[in-house]
Amino acid sequence: MAKITLSNLRHSYLPKPGKPADYALKKIDLDWQDGGAYALLGPSGCGKSTLLNIISGLLTPSEGRILFDDRDVTGLPPDQRNIAQVFQFPVIYDTMTVYDNLAFPLRNRGVAEAHVDTRVREIAEMLEVTEMLKTRASHLSPDNKQKISMGRGLVRDDVNVVMFDEPLTVIDPHLKWKLRSKLKELHQQVRATMIYVTHDQTEALTFADQVVVMQDGEIVQIGTPVELFERPQHTFVGHFIGSPGMNVLDASEDGGTVRFEGQPIAIEGKVTGQGGATQIGIRPEFVSLGDAGLEARVRKVSDVGRHSVVEAMVGDTSVKAIIEGAAPEQGATVHLAFRADQTRLYRDGWLATEIAS
């Protein structure tokens, strides 16, 4: 168990990186608290797997240091860092039984056989695989194989951090949900630090206490799922999280007055900063249809079950709204209202409003 500190971390896969685009990771400074459940969320290719491999020691960063409880481990190989990692595709030792698979990391470290037995049975109990212990691992279904991979990570009681690299990719949808809640449950039982890498917002938001959102090798925002949803620090976060994502609309700002399509728009509070490209961000959940407001023509209505997503055109700009109950017809003219305390201004992508006090 340890606190993990990443300090001034940069990484490039090129031998001689020059410009910022050469870096897969651009200057990461981050603390992972002991026992936390973290998710690393971002689109494919944003550097999240690189970051994970650097923490586990499979990659050595080009620059910067990694500390486990103030001990510098930057140069240590994975087996000396006391970490565990679960991969995208289940890694199991085909020729061994489930029992031997779970015991493998312990036996390699010379743990006494009596203790191995206790730990393996404990973990098997937690994962609900006790009745499979004697089976050859190659005969298991993909979700059970993935459970065994997780088990091998959890079986060591001194593990510093358990990392999951998109572990549910190959699992059937109806089992995904089960394994996800299992993971959450396991975290509460073992209280080890866990880092979960995914590009799926549902997985990240259900698993983690703290979500780290990455884009292009940079951390865009760190926060609880609620914070990410309610106050995205960057339009990317707003857009990436939520279904559909936040409306990001080009707007003009002049002396604190924000105009969208020529109409003044009320926003949450004081505008900060100056210049740059300004946009307003509002989640579809907070756009409502009424008698007054921006005039718009309904282009598309999709009924997604509990509510409808209405896409309306204000001039040439499309705005999405989530409507409970009766939705307007396609082609109808409606009036859109933005909830002021949920409407924010972004300058060059970054949040540029303060909450009104």
**Whole-angstrom distance, CA of residue 243 vs CA of residue 285:** 10
Would the CA dihedral through 76, 79, 85, 86 be positive or negative?
A: positive
Segment interacting with other proteins, rule: CB under 8 A, options 93-101, 215-223, 320-328, 349-357 = 93-101
Q: For other proteins, which residue of 79, 117, 348, 354 counts as binding (CB under 8 A)?
A: 79
Name the residue nearer to other proteins (CB basis): 56 or 221: 56
The yes or no reply on residue 49 touching other proteins (CB under 8 A) is no
CB of 304 to other proteins, least distance (A): 36
Cβ contact 93:57 at 8 Å: no
**Whole-angstrom distance, CA of residue 148 vs CA of residue 101:** 7
Name 118's bridge partners.
none
Name 218's bridge partners.
215
Q: For other proteins, which residue of 30, 67, 76, 96 counts as binding (CB under 8 A)?
A: 96
Tokens of 191: 């209280």
Q: Which of residues 129-158 bind other proteins (CB under 8 A)?
A: 136, 149, 152
Cβ contact 289:329 at 8 Å: no
Q: For other proteins, which residue of 28, 51, 55, 84 counts as binding (CB under 8 A)?
A: 84
The yes or no reply on residue 115 touching other proteins (CB under 8 A) is no
Q: For other proteins, which residue of 7, 74, 88, 210 counts as binding (CB under 8 A)?
A: 88
**Whole-angstrom distance, CA of residue 233 vs CA of residue 221:** 6
Segment interacting with other proteins, rule: CB under 8 A, options 32-40, 81-89, 171-179, 181-189 = 81-89
- Give the helix/strand (H/E) hosting 173: helix 173-190
Cβ contact 31:5 at 8 Å: yes
Would the CA dihedral through 179, 193, 79, 27 be positive or negative?
A: positive
Where do we find the tokens 């459940």?
Answer: 37
SS3 262: coil
CB of 91 to other proteins, least distance (A): 4
Segment interacting with other proteins, rule: CB under 8 A, options 64-72, 79-87, 183-191, 238-246 = 79-87
CB of 275 to other proteins, least distance (A): 47
CB of 49 to other proteins, least distance (A): 11
Name the residue nearer to other proteins (CB basis): 166 or 203: 166
The yes or no reply on residue 76 touching other proteins (CB under 8 A) is no
The yes or no reply on residue 104 touching other proteins (CB under 8 A) is yes
The yes or no reply on residue 225 touching other proteins (CB under 8 A) is no
Cβ contact 51:64 at 8 Å: no
Name the residue nearer to other proteins (CB basis): 104 or 350: 104
SS3 212: strand
Residue 102: is it exposed, middle or buried by C-beta count within 10 angstroms (0-12/13-18/19+)? buried
Give me the 301-340 binding string for other proteins, x by CB under 8 A, dash otherwise.
Answer: ----------------------------------------
| Size of residue set near other proteins by CB under 8 A | 24
What residue ranges bind other proteins (CB under 8 A)?
Answer: 53, 56, 58, 77-79, 83-85, 87-89, 91, 93-96, 104-105, 108-109, 136, 149, 152
